[in-house]
Amino acid sequence: MGHRRKAREYALQGLYMYEIGKKELGEIRTLDWLNKEIPDDIRDFAVTLITKSVENITYIDELIKTHSTNWTLERFGAVDKAILRLSVSALLYMQDIPAAVTINEAIELGKIYGGENTGQFINGILDAIKKSIAKEDSSDGEH
């Protein structure tokens, strides 16, 4: 398993804990709750995903709501929300990671940790958000 995939799993766990109210951001970012040694590159990427997701959660949630046809955020499970939040955060704030990679990784996390159709569900929302971001970026260049 790649280092970034492991970091995404840690970020998923951290955002899940944040969602269900078990931990605050400061405590989650330490990754001490994992109770194991974590290589610096994995730690740094996981902490970045967690931090960017939580710091921008209102905007990220609005994007998710806007692109979730017939679903309210309250209907999403905590795992699905965590996967979507960390993935939207990567799409928005980590331009060095290709959008296709971010989406594929989210689908894989959904297959492992989510329900039967989580991968498809996540793919649809993230693809719509990716297109929305690309459209905004192209229109920004026209001004």
129: which 2 tokens? 């958000």
pLDDT digit string, tens, across residues 42-78: 999 999 999 999 999 999 999 999 998 777 777 888 9
Between the alpha carbon of residue 141 and those of residues 90, 91, 97, 98, 136, the distances in Å are 21, 18, 21, 20, 9
The secondary structure of residue 121, as a DSSP letter, is H
Low-confidence ranges of the chain (pLDDT < 50): 142-143
Number of Cβ atoms within 10 Å of the Cβ of 77: 14
Which CATH code fits 3-138? 1.10.940.10
pLDDT for 93 equals 95
